[in-house]
Structure 1
């Protein structure tokens, strides 16, 4: 069996309405990454860091400060293009981009349903391609052996959870909304079978003085 640790990037720029504006860590996001890195240093057992190529993912990987471990990038760990999907949803159904946590919670299932049903358009990555590429990234990391920290995003983690647990689209959307910034998730490959071993841990934030630093957006 091979265990892999996946981490969601730190808090990005909340309130952004484009990928370019969103794709960088906030000051709190940088701090979350530093705290998590300190925690991982105490655990040991990690020999490499793999991140997607998005700025917020790379900044989180660097912020972990696991300098003795090699860091490489794998674009298959990049997030789904939520902002473009949102534009398709608005153009087709007149549903505007959300303006707060409550409207975002209602928006996510609608966006994911549109995507899974193949309505995103021929120029957009299909859901099946996204699912296959993130599973391929995890499979290749497992072939390299245990000890990997993979820095990625919510959609990637939720998709892998759905694959491991056999979840339907509605439950996947719920998981998408409950993945905190810099939360820790562990997956285990037993042969070719993927298992979820830990979901959404935040040990670096689970102290009274850091509770305000627990963020979803």
Structure 2
């Protein structure tokens, strides 16, 4: 059995309306990653870092990797393109991109269901293709042995959790919304499949003076 750890990137550019604008860490996001890096350095337990190729993922990986472990990039850990999928939802159903937290919470399951049902159109990566490339990345990392820290994004983590737990789309969307920036998740992989053994840990943010730094967006 191999165990791998997945970390969500730090807070990105909240309020952005395009992937390009979103794809960079905020000042708080950088601090979140630095704190997590300090924590991981103090407890050890990983020997390599793998991140997606998105800017926010690579920036987080560099800040987390305080011990200078080998770091490679794997585009299979990149996030789903939520902004383009939201455009497909608006074009099909007239549902605009959300402007506040409450409307975003309602928007996520609508986007994910459109995508899962195959209604986003041929110009978008399909849900099946996304799921398969994420699983391939996880299995390849596990085949190299335990000790990998993978820096990725909410959609990747929520998809793996849903697969491990057999969750339906609506519950997966709720999980998507509850994954904190720089939260830590652990999976075990063996001959029986994928097992979730830790969800959403934030030991680096558990200090009372850091509670305000817990963010979802």
Give the TM-score of the pair, scaled to structure 2.
Answer: 0.98
For the residue of structure 1 that corresponds to 2:203, the secondary structure is coil
How far off its partner does 1:153 sit? 0.1
How far off its partner does 1:73 sit? 0.2
Which residue is 2:133 aligned to? 133
Which residue is 1:161 aligned to? 161
The answer to whether residue 210 in structure 2 is matched with residue 210 in structure 1 is yes
The answer to whether residue 66 in structure 2 is matched with residue 66 in structure 1 is yes
Which residue is 2:149 aligned to? 149
Which residue is 2:183 aligned to? 183
| Distance (whole Å) between structure 1 residues aligned to residue 68 and residue 31 of structure 2 | 20
Which residue is 1:115 aligned to? 115
| Distance (whole Å) between structure 2 residues aligned to residue 160 and residue 15 of structure 1 | 26
For the residue of structure 2 that corresponds to 1:204, the secondary structure is helix
Which residue is 1:88 aligned to? 88
How far off its partner does 1:43 sit? 1.3
Q: How many residues align?
A: 217
What is the aligned-residue RMSD (CA, Å)? Answer: 0.7
| Distance (whole Å) between structure 2 residues aligned to residue 89 and residue 167 of structure 1 | 23
Q: Tell me if structure 1 keeps the 8 A contact 2:51–2:58.
A: yes
| Distance (whole Å) between structure 1 residues aligned to residue 20 and residue 87 of structure 2 | 15
| Distance (whole Å) between structure 2 residues aligned to residue 21 and residue 3 of structure 1 | 34
Gaps of 5+ in 2: none
For the residue of structure 1 that corresponds to 2:204, the secondary structure is coil
For the residue of structure 2 that corresponds to 1:12, the secondary structure is coil
Which residue is 1:43 aligned to? 43
Which residue is 1:29 aligned to? 29
How far off its partner does 1:191 sit? 2.2
How far off its partner does 1:42 sit? 1.3
